[in-house]
């Protein structure tokens, strides 16, 4: 390693300074800089012991950033892509479940001013909500207006 080349720890801290990263994300991003086998695992163990890498903070960060604009399915996929433990993902999904309909309705209201008047418009609105990660039951409830007092 030359004097101008940052160490693995410095690279990891630089990544962590911009946003929360899971251990798996850091492993993917830093693997190419590992000079000897096991070096990266040692660095990540050290950072995790010092609480620089924290799975719960990663989950909370994703929920905070994404829940206002995304459905549970999209958020779940993002958490899985970050390599988080299934228990942490299940806990996050439980948190989101209670507000799913309300969040979907708010996103729908921002995009559309009225309920669909024909099949083509209904399909467009359904695809929009599905692309945001909302499930079929939630989409159906939003478009039927069965749970909404002011549609």
Q: How far apart are CA 68 and CA 46, in angstroms?
A: 34
Other beta carbons within 10 Å of 95 = 15
Same fold, 7-53 and 100-144: yes
**Angstrom distances, CA of residue 91 to CA of 74, 78, 79, 82, 103:** 15, 14, 11, 15, 18
Domain ranges of the chain: 7-53, 54-97, 100-144
* Band of pLDDT at residue 109, cut at 50, 70 and 90: very high
Q: How far apart are CA 117 and CA 108, in angstroms?
A: 15
Q: How far apart are CA 21 and CA 55, in angstroms?
A: 8
Burial of 103: CB neighbours in 10 Å, binned 0-12, 13-18, 19+: buried
- Per-residue model confidence (pLDDT) at position 149: 44
So what CATH class is 7-53? mainly alpha
Distance between alpha carbon 77 and the CA centroid of its chain, in Å? 7
Q: Hey, what are 7's tokens?
A: 């160490």
Range name among 64-73, 84-93, 142-151 with the lowest pLDDT average? 142-151
pTM: 0.84
Q: Where are the beta strands (DSSP E) in the chain?
A: none
Other beta carbons within 10 Å of 105 = 19
Rounded mean pLDDT of the chain? 91
**Arch. (CATH architecture) of 100-144:** Orthogonal Bundle (1.10)
* Band of pLDDT at residue 2, cut at 50, 70 and 90: low
Residues 6+ apart with CB under 8 A from 84: 22, 24, 55, 58, 59
Q: Give 21-75 pLDDT, tens digit per residue.
A: 999 999 999 999 999 999 999 999 999 999 999 999 999 999 999 999 999 999 9
């Amino acid at each position: 390693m030359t004097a101008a080349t940052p160490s693995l720890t410095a690279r990891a801290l630089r990544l962590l300074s911009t946003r929360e990263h899971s251990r798996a994300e850091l492993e993917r991003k830093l693997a190419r800089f590992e000079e000897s086998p096991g070096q990266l695992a040692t660095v990540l163990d050290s950072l995790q012991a010092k609480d620089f890498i924290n799975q719960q903070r990663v989950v909370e960060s994703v929920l905070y950033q994404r829940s206002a604009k995304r459905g549970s399915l999209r958020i779940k996929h993002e958490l899985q892509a970050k390599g988080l433990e299934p228990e942490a993902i299940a806990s996050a999904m439980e948190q989101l479940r209670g507000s799913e309909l309300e969040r979907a309705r708010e996103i729908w209201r921002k995009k559309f001013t009225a309920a669909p008047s024909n099949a083509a418009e209904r399909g467009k609105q359904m695809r929009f909500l599905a692309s945001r990660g909302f499930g079929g039951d939630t989409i159906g409830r939003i478009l039927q207006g069965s749970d909404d007092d002011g549609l």
